[in-house]
Amino acid sequence: MDFGNILSLALGEIVTPTTAAYALAALGLAVHFGYSGLLNFGQAGFMAVGAYGFAISTLTFKVPFVVGFLIALLCAVIFGLLLGVPTLRLRADYLAIVTIAAAEIIRYIVTTNTLFRVTGSADGLSSFQREFDSFNPFPAGTYIFGWSNREFYVRVVSWVIVILCAVIVWLLMRSPWGRVLKGIREDENAVRSLGKNVYAYKMQALVIGGILGALAGLLFTLPRGSVQPANYATELTFFLWTVLLLGGMSTVLGPIVGAMIFWVVLSLTQNVLAGLIESGAITFLSIVQAGQLRFILVGVALMLLMVFRPQGVFGNKKELAFA
């Protein structure tokens, strides 16, 4: 087993565009749940809306990149409003039910064969990233960890977006606007009694978190150059929740570092198990089974985390003392 290789593969995961996408989507969840108390179990739906919004407008309507990008965000805003209008006046649990269902509805719609020419059904869509690639300022060659110029480009773009969004979320949450959201998380009737329009604040939070989700969807698909419905299933949402809980719910850095830890651990377990199987140390598992075992380990890790460090890596222990 080549530990050096395993380690460098794991460290490489820290900055992949997928990690950035997870970080951004989990940041959206932090805005929803960590700061506003909105139980969104459909973040995968927001990601899918962003990804398909961009892919369909680029391929079917042939719009330029910037327009497609804006359409993707606009779709997320509309999706957020659609979910929020009927549910935000109700108790928190209703939003959870509606979001999980809505995310599945999105996935089933893009999978239907009737829409094959627009959504590509189960095959998904591809080659919508050409214009995005044409913006690549880096000349061909190898960069830092032996990345090609495209790999380097997508990493730079992804993390610039993540950092920008993190700064914006941080600025918002230290403002009086963020204070109202945190108040709503604690007790919305009390906030109402102080003259704040709780419904409008919840809607704003839902839409902002959703926009972050849609951006994450773009970061997830643009580097791949393809979008497939199978990528946006419910388990994606729950991975994002794992990331959020791992890092700490009401923090800005939490979701980002949480995403890094999540992918490093996945990569480590995968490669260590694969190495052990290849070297004959483990005989009762196949490589495929090992791939599934690591998700079981993620579940176990999450349970241990909840028991021993429930506030996450960056969470404030004091806050939990009163949970």
Partner 1 sequence: MTTADDNIDYMTDSRAIAVGENLPGCKKRDPIVVADNVTRNFGGISAVDVEHLEIPRHKITALIGPNGAGKTTLFNLLTGFDTPNSGAWTFEGNNIAGVSSYKVARMGMVRTFQLTKVMGKLTVMENMRLGAANQPGERLSRALFKNIWGGREREITKQADGLLEKFKLDAKKDDYAASLSGGQRKLLEMARSLMVRPKLVMLDEPMAGVNPALTQSLLDHIKNLKAEGMTVLFVEHDMNMVRHIADWVVVMAEGRIVAEGPPGEVMKDPAVIDAYLGAHHDVDLGDAQGIRELEAELEADEESIVGTEDAGIIAPEVVEARLEEEEGK
- By the criterion CB under 8 A, which residues form the site for partner 1? 168, 171-172, 175-180, 182-183, 185-187, 189-198, 204, 250, 318-319, 321-322
Q: Shortest Cβ distance from residue 27 to partner 1 (Å)?
A: 16
Q: Shortest Cβ distance from residue 317 to partner 1 (Å)?
A: 12
Closer CB to partner 1, 91 or 130, in the complex? 91
Q: Shortest Cβ distance from residue 160 to partner 1 (Å)?
A: 18
Closer CB to partner 1, 209 or 223, in the complex? 209
Closer CB to partner 1, 110 or 214, in the complex? 214
How many Å apart are CA 313 and CA 181, to the nearest integer? 23
Token match 């979701």: residue? 255
Token match 């021993």: residue? 308
The secondary structure of residue 147, as a DSSP letter, is: B
How many Å apart are CA 266 and CA 216, to the nearest integer? 20
Tokens read off for 241: 């929740």
Instruction: List, in order, residues 6 or more apart from 268 with CB less than 8 Å away.
Output: 6, 10
String of b and e for 99-125 (b: at least 16 CB within 10 Å)?
bbebbbebbeebbeeeeeeebbbeebb
How many Å apart are CA 178 and CA 15, to the nearest integer? 29
How many Å apart are CA 14 and CA 11, to the nearest integer? 5
Closer CB to partner 1, 140 or 321, in the complex? 321
Asked if residue 85 lies in contact with residue 159, where contact means CB atoms within 8 angstroms, the answer is no
Of 3, 25, 41, 45, give the one whose Cα is nearest residue 263.
Answer: 25
Q: Shortest Cβ distance from residue 70 to partner 1 (Å)?
A: 19
The beta strand positions in 87-172, using DSSP E, are 125-126
Q: Shortest Cβ distance from residue 206 to partner 1 (Å)?
A: 12
Q: Shortest Cβ distance from residue 75 to partner 1 (Å)?
A: 20
Alpha-carbon dihedral 148, 153, 156, 159, rounded to 10 degrees = -100
Closer CB to partner 1, 178 or 248, in the complex? 178
Closer CB to partner 1, 82 or 167, in the complex? 167
How many Å apart are CA 282 and CA 42, to the nearest integer? 38
Q: Shortest Cβ distance from residue 25 to partner 1 (Å)?
A: 21
Closer CB to partner 1, 140 or 323, in the complex? 323
